[in-house]
Amino acid sequence: MSSVDIPREQWATRVGFIFAAVGSAVGLGNIWRFPFQVGQEGGAGFLLMYLLFIVLIGFPAMLVEFVVGRRTERNPVGALKEIGSGVWQYVGWIFIATGFVILSYYSVVAGWTIRYTILGLQDGYIADAAEAEGQFVTLASGLDAILFHALFMAAVIAIVAVGIERGIELAVKVMVPAIIVITIGLAIYAATLPGAGEAYSYYLSPEWGVIADNWQSIVPAAAGQAFFTLSLGMGVMITYASYLGEDRNLAEDGAIIIGFDTSIAFITGLIVFPILFTAGVDPADPGAGAIFVSLAAAFGDLTLGWLIGAVFFGTVAIAALSSAISLMEVVVSYIIDERGISRPTAAIGIGGAMFLLGVPSAYDLVLLDLFDLFADQILLVLGGLLLMILVGWSLPDLAVDELQRGIGDLGSLGPAWIWAVRIPVILVLLVALVLGILDYYEFLTGPFAEWVGDQ
């Protein structure tokens, strides 16, 4: 069945589209992943490299996804079938697979944020780092984790089932302003903490020696983070742009979206590091759980920390929700467009399947890593890379033509954009893919093999 059988939905307003894209971009990537990457990669040097990649790689790549979505008015699978020939037709499937895998464990982590919001309200944060760690291990896997994973997924299903205009658009119009206001408020609070000065200099003054010594790990980490945080590489921006009715200036929209996303990530650093420094927690503590353990321990230490913590984790949960709906929408739009199944049925079916796929991640943290590394460092980069090669090298005229709709003649900016996609974007993705595969191999033969041995 083809898409012409069902009238396609559209965003009601320009703000609706921008908020939805900002909602997708601002998520666990900004508030959970970003600070622990900064910590792991040594502070300000990473921040600088990250900002560079956002402009150099993120912006051109986002425009590619936008033009593909708006031109085809299709889900990623349908879009790639339309613009690609031969094997290129199947690239859309990678996006669907990526969305599927990412949301399965993203929902588990989002479940932790709900759990930690409640923990704050129960005044349950523990200042002692070792005990906080133990608490995290208990809450982050097992029955507790599965329960909150289910709760979160149910919320995602409920919003996506209602539809673009009355579901997603309405939800993000409430969620996104709330996230912005609360993060700014928390940053102001954090500025009053005694550790703020030390934290700012760690976060904001790059040490060139650190960058020079560690660029091999900083560069791919910063590039990967730029892609992940902007929701690129899995068809979200293709899907969201496919619901654009009129001709808008996509470059302007993209710049606004990127501006918001980058600001929120940056401000999050201004919240997290003063809190960690004040509580005497080392920001370099690596790992996905670190931000939960260290922040919860810090909140356990601060006056009124329970309240600040509940507001902080609550905001993270909302940010995760507005990202998760975009991930589910990628798959749901495919089912609606190409299979002619109704939206609520598609949302429930897909959400249910994603929940089941996430259960192993909620069962053991090693399995969460297994999914996360595979989706994040391989699938996402691979899908993004193939799309950039296809559009940059085979369809430059179509891309420039589509971008000009709503802007007018781009002049030499058109070719400049295409060349940015052809060389720097593709090169960075290629390097990231190779490093990602090597890293995954190490994980499979190291921690994962050990884990299997222990079972």
- Tell the smallest beta-carbon distance from residue 61 to ligand PHE (Å): 12
Nearer to ligand PHE, 227 or 306 (CB): 227
Residue number, 262 or 404, with CB nearest to ligand PHE: 262
Query: Is the Cβ of residue 309 or residue 383 nearer to ligand PHE in the bound state?
Result: 383
Cα 425 to its chain centre, rounded Å, is 18
Residue nearest to ligand PHE (CB): 29
Q: How far is the CB of 25 from ligand PHE (least distance, A)?
A: 5
Output the smallest distance, CB 168 to ligand PHE, in A: 13
Residues in Cβ contact with 186 at an 8 Å cutoff, skipping those fewer than 6 apart:
271, 308, 311, 312, 315
The amino acid present at 65, given as its one-letter code, is E
- Work out the angle between the directed axes of helices 208-229 and 426-443 (0-180°, nearest 10): 90
Q: How far is the C-alpha of 95 from the C-alpha of 444, rounded, in Å?
A: 23
For residues 107 and 278, which CB has a smaller minimum distance to ligand PHE in the complex?
107
From residue 92, alpha-carbon distances to 251, 257, 376, 392 in Å are 23, 24, 16, 16
Q: Which residues bind ligand PHE (CB under 6 A)?
A: 24-25, 27-30, 228-229, 231, 234, 236, 323, 326-327
H helices within 364-448, ranges in order?
365-373, 380-389, 396-404, 413-420, 426-443
Q: Which two tokens stand for residue 413?
A: 């900016």
Which residue number, 28 or 250, has a Cβ lying nearer to ligand PHE? 28
Shortest separation between residue 213's beta carbon and ligand PHE, angstroms: 28
* CB 380 to ligand PHE: min, Å: 7
Q: Least distance from C-beta 429 to ligand PHE, angstroms? A: 15
Instruction: Report which of 181, 186, 211, 209 is spatially closest to residue 196, judged by C-alpha positions.
Output: 186
C-alpha span between 338 and 340 (Å, rounded): 6
Q: Which is nearer to ligand PHE, 327 or 382 (CB)?
A: 327
Query: Taking the complex as a whole, how short is the minimal distance between the CB of residue 206 and ligand PHE, in angstroms?
Result: 23
Q: Which helix (H) or strand (E) holds 78?
A: helix 76-83
Q: Which residues contact 189 (CB under 8 A, 6 or more apart)?
A: 271, 308
Q: Are 379 and 94 in contact (CB under 8 A)?
A: yes
Compare residues 229 and 294 and give the one whose CB is closer to ligand PHE. 229
